[in-house]
Amino acid sequence: MKHEFADWPCSVARAAGVFGDSWTLLILRDAMYGLTRYDEFQRSLHIARNTLSDRLGKLVDAGVMTKRFYQDNPPRYEYLLTEMGRDFFPVLAAMLSWGDKWLDGGGGAPVTLCHHGDGHGIVSRVICEQCGDPVGHEDIRFCVGPGYPDDVRPELDMRSRLEPAPGAARGADAAAGRARPAKPGRRAG
């Protein structure tokens, strides 16, 4: 993970530290296609070998992929998605859907996702975990989460842009009765 994002109190920033590189995203795409071997990734992506080695190493270090020995002479390894890596699928599906909508140049989706059992197309959407309704940006609020650290460096502290968690008071401000509401009429982000 990139050090400059590791300490940020934001999961998007932390994820960008792991996945925020074009080659990394394409390696993960190919891993989702089923590619596992170094030479397969290199042939598919036409990526410089030093760049591929660097990105695979970072994905292994971050826990997204694991490196498994499969051949003695010469020594060869394959790169397999871990549970963490497989959990990236909805993000990749959302990126594919967004690209199909906004970047297809009028030609339609170059690749579609089909449910293997029945061949139905896949739709990527965000839903409410309680009621199951689809949710758009206009339907959400950014709130302080339970993992927001109390000891954030001042230049990284985003609490002034966040609403208090619904029904929860936490941290030193909450203990002192100083929960910081978001500014009226403004959304965090």
Residues 164, 169, 170, CA angle at the centre, nearest 5°? Answer: 100
Q: How far apart are CA 136 and CA 128, in angstroms?
A: 10
82 shares a domain with 10: yes
Length of the chain measured in residues: 189
Give the domain CATH number at 53: 1.10.10.10
Last residue of a domain, one of 39, 58, 86: 86
> So what's the pLDDT on residue 24?
97
Token duo for residue 121: 């197309």
In a domain, 93, yes or no: no
Q: How many domains does the chain have?
A: 2
Boundaries of domain holding 45: 3-86
* Structural contact between residues 19 and 28, judged by C-beta atoms closer than 8 angstroms: yes
Tens of pLDDT along the chain (189 residues)?
A: 445 788 888 888 889 989 989 999 999 999 999 999 999 999 999 999 999 999 999 999 999 999 999 998 999 999 999 999 999 999 999 999 999 999 988 898 999 999 988 889 888 899 999 999 999 999 999 999 999 998 988 999 999 999 988 876 544 444 444 444 443 443 444
Question: Whole-model pTM?
Answer: 0.79
C-alpha 34, offset from chain centre: 19
- Interacting residues of 189 by C-beta distance below 8 A, sequence separation 6+: 142, 161
In a domain, 125, yes or no: no
> So what's the pLDDT on residue 10?
87
